Chain A
Amino acid sequence: MKRSRRYALLAGIASCLMALAPAHAQTNQSQSQGLLKNPPRAFLEGEGIDIAALKTQTAFITHVADAKEAQVLVRIAAQSTESGKEFTLVFTGQGEFAGVNDKLTYRADKSASDEDVRKELARTLQMGLMSYTAKTDVAGRISISMEEKVKPTSVVDPWKFWVFKVSTNLYMNGEESYWDRSLSGSFSANRVTPEMKLNLSVSAYSQKNFYKYDSQEIVSRQDSLSFNGLFVKSLTEHWSAGAYLEASSSTYDNINFEIIPAPAVEFNLFPYSQSTLRQLRFLYRVGFSHVRYREETIYGRMKENLINESLSVTLQLNQKWGSTTLSISGAHYFHDFKKNRLGTTGMIQLKLFKGIQVSFLGGASWIHNQLSLPRGDASFEDVVLQRRELETSFRYYFMTGISFTFGSVHSNVVNPRFGASSSMGQMTIIVN
């Protein structure tokens, strides 16, 4: 009985699907298979317009003699107005470009020279043809640029570049013998202009994990609360000065409350304007911290005032052959120069030959400044779940990956059937 009902249900679903499928068994012609190989075929017409001159300005398309042969029809009409002449360019797509239509106007001032008018009309035509060119291989040979530098702040903005954000998030996960839940919230206020940068944020995070093991119940929690402030003033293309203000409370670090004001200065060997391509930044910072611990530390302290200095050097390159980020930082406390830390991290991603890609990621630290370690021993679950900072004098990680791909390079086919292909592994690392 039960079984037959189930089959009836399945049959019902199947027949619904059949009914939904359209009768015309359309093949996947419209499916993306890459860009069209040939430049768009265009036919230009317009009374009293110097079509020959326009043709030489649009060498990236094929001009055909017959409107029927064309994929794009361009009709140019000129009309005299009080202030000068108005050109209307109507673009109509045909064949592969059916439905891709546009209309542009160019108004020439009475005082404009013939040469200027010709140039501006050609520019308008070029721009209108871009929609069609974009769908062909020719797109790769087009470059579009604006020579003049313009300040990004040349806009009318009643908020004077202030941006505020409130956000909150809840996460829960569970099964019979395990559950966890976390809650976080944050508020931020930012103002970024080329001359200065101000970032202010408050965030809170709380996580609780619960395990059942033999009738035994294990609960583990981690909480943190923090404020982060940063002000940076741009001095020159190479120098900036600023100050951090950080306040936090964290169970992981055994910190009840900590506040650190820290003035800082930065020098970039490359001009900041090239920062998306390359950066070599030296950041020096002096921190004055006042800290109160949750439990007595291994040095017998419940609270203390500390001064430290740190220097970090960061190199970032983003080039055709690959990307790299390397960073070295060192810090020490002034009351005891032996309380120091030296750390380095690096990432290199290289394209060696066609098809071979190599990546390295690694980091190492020598740690002699764990002033906040609590005196008591960590519990077994604190160690296994990494819920507490543990005593150590070093820490390192290293990763390397290589991949070699060969075979067809022409296959720009997208075939979404049975789900997208599973990428084998992907890792995103964020370094500040």
Chain B
Amino acid sequence: MKTATNKDDAMAKINRERKKRRPTGRPMQIFFLALLMFVVMILPDPGLSAQQANQEDIEALKKTAPKIFIDCESCDIDYIRTEVTFINYVRDRKEAQVHVLITTQNTGSGGSEYTLSFLGQNEFKGDDDTVRFFTNKTDTPDEIRQGLVKALKIGLMRYVAKTPIARRVNIAYRPVETAGAGADKWNSWVFSIGGSGFLSKQKRYSYQMVNGSVSANRVTPESKLRLGLSWNDQRNIFKFGSDEVKSNYSTQSFSGLYVKSLNDHWSVGFYLNAESSTYDNVKISLSPAPAVEFNLFPYSQSTRRQLRFLYRLSFQAVRYREETIYDKITESLLSESLSVTLELKEKWGTVSTTLLGRHYFHDFNKYSLDLNGELSLNLLKGLSFNIYGGGSRIHDQLSLPKGGASLEEVLLRRRQLETNYNYYFSVGFSYTFGSIYTNVVNPRFGSSGMSMSIGF
């Protein structure tokens, strides 16, 4: 009720201002200008010039613009603030009238689907909307942020339309010249080849890394086929006194996955993996594995919530590099695994957790159990809390070599070591208070630092 009257007042004021500025005839204009100049010269407060009235006007409007909280991890927020000026940005979701939750998912062509969930709060409670836009794999950061800004502006219109600043926003349309896109001659197949190299050196230390990958994917709502080949080589050299210590790491792998969609909750599929790794003491291993998945939530809600149960039966034929602690150089193994994954992204925070259990059939005591999770919450104004961690019970290290590891392999963690457990845990909290507005972009002295993502 209160906002409605505010809005009326503001509108009435704007209409009054507009009336003042309505053009009259030319001689009248000149006369008024002369009079205005005279008034400006004699008055101590020159608040009446058209320019200034206009400026004051827009500044009054800005105060009533909708308060928006942009909830996005990978967006160029400074660019958004520079391009979209008809709203007010706040740093806490509880202060906002609209919470814009931006999530991404990979698409079949290797690009991303951005989902912008507009959640109305306070005065806009119940006024929700969803806008999507798509990027291609090779889009540059500039093209991506332009697309995001466009989608954001369109989605914001229904809220902006309910505030007085709407009168200053223009919508323009560029008509289509040609007919729509043609048929897809590639039949949804997407191929990608990539490689990268890294080299770093100083007097007593050098590191080099080379990796490459080839992939072929075909993703449709009915099925998903992913085939990928990748390799990675790393080498460190340390000079210590007159000694030179070298350490290598290398993996090659092939991974294949075919998934057939059954309905909105069930899928079946088949994995085929082949691998060679110095870390795991594996010369070559091949494992085909049929699998089935159930999602408690419909797959169509996957960007916001998933609870997936994935059961997998794996056959593995493996040849080791060195004889294992169980005196094996080759073996054939059969194992089963079940994993449960919960992922929620809501306006109060995110939850992501996975429980994975696995055992071999030839000896049920060779098993592992792994739990990891992440929780980040923003429950109270300004207070955010995040916790992540995981732990494993490990009784299935069949590939451990008899020979053990050298000191540098231990320090650089270049070899799998014998253990019954491992864990990691992190907890952090932050409390922010003060101004809620984050409209300002000030790039002087290199403000935010620049970040760049290189995908390969």
Contacts and interface: CB of A to CB of B under 8 A. Distances in A.
Interface stretch (B28-36, B262-270, B279-287): B262-270
Interface in B174-207: 174-176, 180-181, 184, 186-205
B122 to A, nearest CB: 16
Given A141-B174, A166-B431, A213 B407 contact: yes
B194 A130 contact: no
B136 interface: yes
B449 A431 contact: yes
Interface stretch (A33-41, A68-76, A291-299, A336-344): A33-41
Contacts of A104: 158, 161-162
B42 interface: no
A391 B291 CA distance: 54
Decide if the interface of chain A is mainly helix, strand, loop or mixed: mixed
Contacts of B411: 211, 218, 381, 384-385
Given A177-B419, A416-B105, A357 B173 contact: no
Contact of A424 (B160, B215, B240): B215
A411 B225 CA distance: 13
Decide if the interface of chain B is mainly helix, strand, loop or mixed: mixed
Contact of A410 (B154, B181, B421, B438): B181
Given A392-B204, A399-B199, A405 B168 contact: no
Contacts of B436: 157, 159
Contact of A151 (B22, B59, B221, B435): B59
Given A142-B171, A408-B184, A429 B452 contact: yes
B334 interface: no
A401 interface: yes
Contacts of A164: 432-434
A325 B138 contact: no
B3 to A, nearest CB: 13
B5 interface: no
B15 to A, nearest CB: 4
Interface string B421-434: 11111111111111
Given A401-B454, A412-B107, A127 B171 contact: yes
Chain A interface size, under 10 / 10 to 19 / 20 to 34 / 35 or more: 35 or more
A347 B449 CA distance: 14
B444 A417 contact: no
B38 interface: no
A361 interface: yes
Interface stretch (A45-53, A250-258, A316-324): A316-324
A165 B59 CA distance: 29
A32 B158 contact: no
B173 A171 contact: no
Contacts of B62: 150-151, 154-155
B230 interface: yes
B417 interface: yes
Given A384-B245, A384-B411, A425-B455, A176 B446 contact: no
Interface string A138-180: 1111111111111111111101111111111111111111100
B401 interface: no
B163 to A, nearest CB: 11
Given A166-B431, A401-B194, A423-B106, A349 B140 contact: yes
A113 B99 CA distance: 37
Nearest to A418: B259
Interface residues of B, number: 178
B211 interface: yes
A255 to B, nearest CB: 20
B314 to A, nearest CB: 14
Contacts of A172: 423-426
A222 interface: no
Given A100-B129, A111-B15, A392 B202 contact: yes
A385 B202 CA distance: 15
Nearest to B243: A380
B308 to A, nearest CB: 8
A2 interface: yes
Interface in B282-303: 291, 293-296, 298-300, 302-303
Nearest to A281: B446
Nearest to B203: A392
A205 B39 CA distance: 63
B450 interface: yes
Interface in A294-336: 314, 316, 318-323, 325
A143 B172 contact: yes
B113 A412 contact: yes
A193 B15 contact: no
B440 A413 contact: no
Contacts of A407: 109, 186, 189-191
A146 B169 contact: yes
A165 B195 contact: no
26 contacts: A31-B299, A35-B132, A37-B181, A104-B158, A104-B162, A107-B11, A127-B161, A134-B131, A137-B180, A141-B174, A142-B173, A143-B173, A144-B169, A154-B58, A162-B435, A175-B419, A177-B419, A192-B440, A194-B440, A356-B138, A395-B201, A410-B181, A411-B109, A413-B219, A414-B108, A418-B291
Given A157-B435, A175-B417, A421-B219, 16 more contacts: A109-B15, A131-B158, A141-B176, A143-B173, A146-B170, A150-B62, A154-B62, A163-B433, A166-B432, A167-B429, A275-B443, A276-B78, A361-B454, A384-B240, A402-B196, A404-B193
Closest 4 CB pairs of A and B: A401-B196, A167-B430, A152-B439, A169-B428
